[in-house]
Structure 1
Amino acid sequence: MDDLQLPTHSASRTSSTSTTASATYTGEHDRSQSETTLFSIYSMYSSDPPPVPAKEHIPIVSVTRPDSYRNSLKSNGFSDSNLAYYDPDVPPKPPPTRTIDLTKAGVINGPPRVSSLRPVSDYTASTSSMRMSLTPAEERRASTGHTHSPSLHSSRQSSRHSSSRPESLLAPLPAVPVSGHPTPPPTPPPPISPRLLATGVPSPTLPLKHPISDYTIPGSKTSLVPSEGEDLDGFHVRNTYAQLEMSGVKGDGYEEGVERTRARIGTSRASQAFAENAVGDGTEKSQELDPKEIQTLVAVDRYGFFSTPSHDRLVLLPKAPFVKPLAVIRAGPSSSKPSAQSLDTVPPAPLPPKEASRIEKWTRMMEPSARQGSNTQTWRVKASKQGKLRLRAYKGVPDRWRPAAWDMFMNNIARTSPAEMARLSQQYREGLDKPSTYDIQIDLDVPRTISGHIMFRTRYGAGQRSLFHVLHCFSLRCSQCGYVQGMGPIAATLLCYFDPEKAYASLVRLHDAYGMHTIFSPGFPGLLEAIYLQERITEQMMPDVYAAFKKHTISTTSYATKWYITLFSNSVPFQTQLRLWDAFLLEGTDLFVAVAVAIVWVYRDHITSAAANFETILSLLSSFFVPEDEDSLLLWIEKTLGDKKLRSSMTRWRADWKELVAAGKDVTALL
């Protein structure tokens, strides 16, 4: 597959960024300014408001060291748990000391009434407040987090024999909030020919409630105690995800969940019980589906979305301009409207009409390249079918084949061996127990990364935990890049098709072989290089558009930054993004330069309109684009990148950019 490997382009560093739509170009080489830029960028594409706390009007309390205050809690008979927060300034009135004899309570063989989620520490609960002995089997269940977390109702039943507190004094649990998002009608799967049923093709990719991996994340004690010098707030975040990874959460995929890190759990008995009741009890994976879960699963579309994310500006990307290939063209009539056709909603994802036939074609084209027993680990294209790969990728990889195809594309460019993939998997597992200075920011971004998707719906559900762990481990990989918010949508898309370990390995391959290191590095040198190429193509092929940008002082960084940093994750519908990624993983970084040029090409008459101004142009190019016909868009991009003369010019412009950076002239080289 040598013909698929493209040269890796490394860009020189610069620190030119644009923090807002009207920001000017600056040359400061400062990491904090770069991150501030990303925060501003992220606000442009994040449509979800931050989740509200589980209980309204909860006071925000500061985190205290666990040693001093936890001892005072234990002396007053409170449970030692990091899943609830207590106000150190106004401690709650302690309840009467109670002694529970399980033999008299009649629950000696029942589940223990202690939380299996306590972190491992030197602090042990006083035996005067509770006498309990666990059998070896129960101890094993407790150590792995598979003990049954008792509900408030069961706790009342077991304590009724020994507690003198009236039952009526216990506050009732508030109702668990459910999503109010509208759900689109389900899309039926494509018909598959009987011949394929006997063929070893990949199984359909469905959103999994519990992602399957060759390695289960261990309930490591390392994540349950702070590392030396670790920030306590950061440890609380990492500790919470580690504990919930062992226990799971209830209602994963169809409930909103309970916030535990961004908003503190209240000190009231009802608030703490509500939070404790939301923790999984270890039986979630084996029990029958809840009616709410069935209702949600029926409503999701073919990609796992139960609701369509809302966007401020939806515009149609018409197919008519794609009839003409990229060439030198003058401005259209000056009487053109400055705005494009707007849409009210994103239409539901249609079923590709040729999905079934394309599955058959890919089945005939692909063959196993590595096996582990009877399971195929990696795939390759048959030698006789190599000439068909590029066009079939642009026509859209069938969703059933997408995980195998994406993995193959990345292996071809990154030259990743099975031994290297095993090493990356080991690196991921080891990184789970290491602290990261980015954990707090990652935790803030996780719930708002991909809205409306069943896998990422529930707070601290399997999808959100996987997303946190992948970003956490990746933030430890490169000291220069660390973590920036554009990584979240990329990792979430990968998790829709890969388990966490492979999603992490895929991020590493994008970082190392696809030039994403230069995109995420301080100053975003790769981003600026891509923008330089985009401007050169615009200047050469659409000179009137380039002149309009200069006239209205439109900086390309003000609208295109989020395109390149998120790989168009929040600028086009999900199904369009997948098709762009099909081509990107095959072609390399030039793909998204061509996508950016395609958008400007479509709206060239609006940009050069006599009625256009700074606001109308920037608003148009900052919109969410809904293609009228995805095939027309992808075919236009395929022809553009197939132009050998243009690709040669792009190579020359990359070299020119490096010279500008070396000479310190890059600051004035962009619009």
Structure 2
Amino acid sequence: SIRSVGPPPELVRQREAKWINIIAQWDRILLKKTSKVKLQCQKGIPASLRAKCWPMLCGALDRMKQNDDLYQSWVDVIERDLDRQFPFHEMFLSKDGHGQRGLFRVLKAYTQYQPEEGYCQAQGPVAAVLLMNMPAEEAFWCLVQISKQYLPGYYSPLLEGVLFDAAMLTWVLKRTCPAAHRHLQHHGVEPLMFATDWLMCLFTRHLPFNTLLRVWDLFFCYGVRVLLQVAVVLVRRVLGRPEQRKKCQGQVETLERLRGVREEVQEEDDAFIAEVRHIIRGLR
């Protein structure tokens, strides 16, 4: 199981109380993503309330209300990738366990809901993280919102959304960390070579779990630009200093360091989240 770390219990209770108050005023406050909501997302949503807040923030709750009977029609197939998603997490250890069964239903349901797109492997770890935080029906509708509203074109056969955002990442890197950008250009390393998996999997394979949850809090509030800012911070962590760039003498070495970026982020890394927040504020 994944080790749980985080703020002291008193602070958690205070944040829970604030979120409960926000949820009670959903139509007036949360739906508009006011500055109050954004501030609380930046501080981190309490684990006990993510199952309520993520569906509300991304609009999945509204879709659930409009499609109550679709969930009942889900059928069986998509087993290929089930045991690859967080294989050491107790929820997904067994093929017959509730974790893999729930993941199977969610992914199969998506292929029925969007038959023209079908199933994309990168949706597996995304759905798995959702299931760790909420029941299967809510997880399904959050996956729908992520795929259709937050990341359109990411999971389609041509991956046009990913291609566009990878090109955007090149521009953002040139603007925010020119030395790293020059290093990548010099060695022929394009963002598509290392950031495709980052973006499509929403960093599920590349960040410690508790830091990942904090990133997703921001993602559900601010949208895709959070993913680009996280990518920038990760590149900075790997190539931001001259001595780091000197250790990467070619394309292979550079890509190896970027693909092993998880080592550069600590569990529940407040400094990492602060860097992401700083870039978000700078882009308002």
CA contact (8 A) 2:55 2:141 kept: no
Partner in structure 1 of residue 72 of structure 2: 429
Is 2:9 aligned against 1:349? Answer: no
TM-score (norm 1): 0.39
Give SS of 1:569's match. Answer: coil
Partner in structure 2 of residue 635 of structure 1: 274
1:362 counterpart letter in structure 2: W
Partner in structure 1 of residue 245 of structure 2: 608
2:131 counterpart letter in structure 1: L
Could you tell me which runs of 5 or more consecutive residues in structure 1 were left unpaired when the two chains were aligned.
1-304, 309-347, 370-378, 648-671
Decide which of 392, 402, 410 is 2:40's aligned counterpart.
392
Decide which of 124, 133, 137 is 1:488's aligned counterpart.
124
Change (3 A) 1:358 1:529: same
> Per-residue CA shift, 1:217-257, capped at 9, x if unaligned?
xxxxxxxxxxxxxxxxxxxxxxxxxxxxxxxxxxxxxxxxx
CA contact (8 A) 2:234 2:261 kept: no
Is 2:98 aligned against 1:443? Answer: no
Give SS of 2:125's match. Answer: helix
Aligned ranges for residues 223-622 of structure 1 at < 5 Å?
305=1, 348-353=3-8, 354-367=11-24, 369=26, 381=29, 386-411=34-59, 417=62, 420-432=63-75, 439=77, 442-515=78-151, 517-603=152-238, 604-605=240-241, 606=243, 608-609=245-246, 612-622=249-259
Give SS of 1:366's match. Answer: helix
Give SS of 2:67's match. Answer: helix
CA contact (8 A) 2:169 2:228 kept: yes
In structure 2, C-alpha distance between the alignment counterparts of 1:498 and 1:408, rounded to whole Å: 12
Identity of aligned residues (%): 27
Larger Rg: 1
2:97 counterpart letter in structure 1: G
Is 2:264 aligned against 1:623? Answer: no
Change (3 A) 1:552 1:502: same
CA contact (8 A) 1:380 1:408 kept: no
Q: CA RMSD, aligned part only?
A: 2.4
Give SS of 1:601's match. Answer: helix
Displacement after TM superposition at 1:607 (Å): 5.1
Displacement after TM superposition at 1:504 (Å): 1.3
Give SS of 1:518's match. Answer: coil
Q: Taking CA–CA contacts closer than 8 Å with sequence separation of 6 or more, which of the two structures ends up with the larger relative contact order?
A: 1
2:160 counterpart letter in structure 1: P
User: How many residues matched?
Assistant: 277
> Per-residue CA shift, 1:358-401, capped at 9, x if unaligned?
223333443165xxxxxxxxx87479x94322122111101111
> Per-residue CA shift, 1:503-560, capped at 9, x if unaligned?
1111111122112x40011121111111111110111232222221122111221211
Displacement after TM superposition at 1:562 (Å): 0.8
Could you tell me which runs of 5 or more consecutive residues in structure 2 were left unpaired when the two chains were aligned.
none
1:543 counterpart letter in structure 2: P
Higher relative helix content? 2
CA contact (8 A) 1:366 1:380 kept: no
Partner in structure 2 of residue 252 of structure 1: none
